[in-house]
């Protein structure tokens, strides 16, 4: 008789965004006249850069001619894209990453989720709290998270590392020793980022205990603070303990186009095995690459014109972040993030619960946010706002919030 992977049966429903959608739908049905401003959106809204579109058109034309048509591409990505990444994302920052340490993929979400394939299910996993839910759920699916504790809304075998105002939203080394450590920097949902020195502590620790850091820097392009590294490999020693995930999604508006990459250094070995070789084996077996057209589109962001264009879009979003951050602060709300990331993490006033404050903002101000509690127990007492909308909607949301507070 067939048995399903019963780890899936332990997963709580995808509660956060479903519950937000349910509350918004119910409220809108009762108040169709209300024009809600959506500040919970985690997706980009600006169109692809002209250079990207031009490169895609050209690549599409190549696919239409026998002489330039492309079938399956190289397993780990085309050289033109890999060498542009090596040059621009690493060499230009003084980091030496070899082409065969880069694996092009269709998304950081898939890579963060799939990387667990190369690790035993016996490993102890540490995640930040609050956290991007993919790290937790994919470990739960693999059986590394234990059971779900409904009462405390957490998994019994995962180590949750609280990221709070008190520790500056940078996790402390936990009492129990982890084998796999997820760090997302700049962070979703808190919008905060660890400095080079703070990351050095984690790199030294991981090398010392033999753990592996899974470093998600999907929001790297939003960093403005020179003390915040753009790559974990800016920290010496990281090549023997870290894997880095990057994405074109938020960097260049590729959420609907799909392209990302993962760096697995050849120096990273455990139990005598090269993790670079294991990941290569995994990818070449289960993944058939990103389309030629998409990889040409991604490579276009590394041209002089492409760089300029994506910088403009990021500046547009970060100006929204400034409007939101300063506006909330003027309204007497304590805010974090929004300087090195397009997320603003706002403390709810007078200890109001996340969901209660979400309801207040929706019903009184007509502004939709994301309750922090949905990202983990330590997110209680916060809400997340994103800067991915239009400038007008950021201004309107702040105007309305100021009016009700
Ligand atoms: N990592 C983090 C921290 C994210 O917030 C997101 C998207 O919201 C992703 C990864 C997903 O990136 P991609 O679109 O490349 O799958």
Asked if 50 and 312 count as a contact pair (C-beta separation under 8 A), the reply is: no
Percent of the chain with pLDDT over 70: 100
User: Does 342 contact ligand 1 (Cβ within 6 A)?
Assistant: no
pLDDT reading at 105 higher than 80: yes
268 C-beta neighbours (distance < 10 Å), count: 22
- Length, in residues, of the chain: 405
**Nearest alpha carbon, ligand 1 atom 1:** 218
| Ligand 1 pocket member 107 (CB < 6 A) | yes
pTM exceeding the 0.85 threshold for the entire prediction = yes
CA 123 to mean position of chain CA atoms: 23
Considering only CA atoms, which of 179, 140, 174 is closest in space to residue 160? 174
Q: Is 306 a residue whose pLDDT tops 90? A: yes
Residue 16 pLDDT:
85
The pLDDT value recorded for residue 335 is 98
Q: Is the pLDDT of residue 143 over 80?
A: yes
Determine what percent of the chain is predicted with pLDDT higher than 90.
95
Q: Is 89 in the pocket of ligand 1 (CB under 6 A)?
A: no
* Beta strand 260-263 pairing with 125-129: unpaired
3-class DSSP assignment, residue 144: coil
What is the model's pLDDT at position 153? 86
User: How many A from CA of 333 to the centre of ligand 1?
Assistant: 27
Quote the tokens at residue 168: 């500056």
pLDDT digits (tens, 9 = 90+) for 175-190: 999 999 999 999 999 9
pLDDT score, position 13: 78
Of residues 329, 331, 332, 337, the one with CA closest to residue 385 = 337
Mutate to test the pocket of ligand 1, among 218, 246, 257, 343 (most ligand atoms within 8 A of CB): 218
The answer to whether the CB of 218 is under 6 A from ligand 1 is yes
The predicted pLDDT at position 69 comes to 98
H helix count then E strand count, the chain: 12, 17
Q: Residue 242: what are its φ and ψ, rounded to 5°?
A: -135, 150
Mean pLDDT of the chain: 96
- In 3D space, the residue among 358, 321, 350, 351 whose CA is nearest the CA of residue 336 turns out to be 321
Does the pLDDT of residue 15 top 90, yes or no?
no
> What average pLDDT does the segment 370-379 reach?
94
- Output the residue whose Cα is nearest ligand 1's atom 3: 188
Lowest average pLDDT, out of 15-29, 54-68, 73-87, 238-252, goes to 15-29
């Amino acid at each position: 008789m067939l048995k399903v992977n019963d780890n899936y049966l332990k997963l709580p429903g995808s509660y956060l965004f479903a519950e937000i959608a349910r509350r918004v739908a119910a409220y809108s049905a009762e108040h169709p006249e209300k024009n809600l401003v959506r500040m919970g959106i985690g997706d980009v809204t600006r169109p692809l850069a002209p250079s990207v579109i031009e490169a895609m058109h050209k690549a599409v034309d190549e696919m239409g001619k026998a002489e330039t048509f492309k079938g399956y591409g190289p397993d780990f990505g085309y050289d033109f894209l890999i060498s542009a990444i090596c040059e621009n994302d690493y060499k230009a920052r003084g980091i030496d990453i070899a082409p065969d340490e880069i694996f092009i993929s269709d998304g950081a979400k898939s890579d963060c989720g799939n990387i667990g394939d190369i690790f035993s299910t016996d490993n102890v996993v540490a995640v930040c709290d609050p956290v991007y839910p993919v790290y937790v759920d994919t470990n739960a699916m693999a059986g590394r998270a234990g059971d779900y504790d409904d009462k405390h809304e957490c998994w019994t075998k995962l180590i949750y590392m609280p990221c709070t105002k008190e520790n500056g939203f940078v996790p402390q080394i936990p009492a129990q020793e982890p084998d796999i450590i997820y760090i997302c920097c700049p962070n979703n949902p808190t919008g905060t980022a660890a400095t080079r020195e703070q990351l050095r502590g984690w790199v030294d620790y991981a090398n010392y205990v033999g753990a592996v850091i899974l470093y998600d820097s999907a929001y790297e392009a939003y960093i403005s603070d020179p003390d915040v590294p753009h790559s974990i490999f800016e920290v010496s020693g990281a090549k023997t303990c870290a894997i880095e995930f990057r994405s074109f999604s938020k960097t260049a508006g590729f959420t609907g186009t799909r392209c990302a990459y993962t760096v697995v250094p050849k120096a990273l070995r455990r139990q005598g095995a090269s993790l670079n070789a294991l990941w290569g084996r995994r990818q070449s077996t289960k993944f058939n690459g990103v389309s030629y057209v998409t990889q040409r589109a991604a490579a276009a962001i590394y041209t002089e014109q492409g760089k300029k264009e994506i910088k403009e879009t990021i500046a547009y979003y970060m100006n929204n972040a400034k409007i939101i951050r300063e506006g909330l602060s003027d309204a007497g709300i304590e805010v974090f993030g929004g300087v090195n990331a397009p997320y603003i993490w706002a403390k709810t006033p007078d200890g109001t619960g996340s969901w209660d404050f979400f309801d207040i903002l929706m019903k009184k101000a007509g502004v939709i946010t994301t309750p922090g509690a949905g990202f983990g127990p330590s997110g209680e007492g916060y809400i997340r706002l994103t800067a991915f909308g239009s400038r007008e909607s950021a201004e309107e949301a702040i105007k309305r919030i100021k009016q009700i507070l």
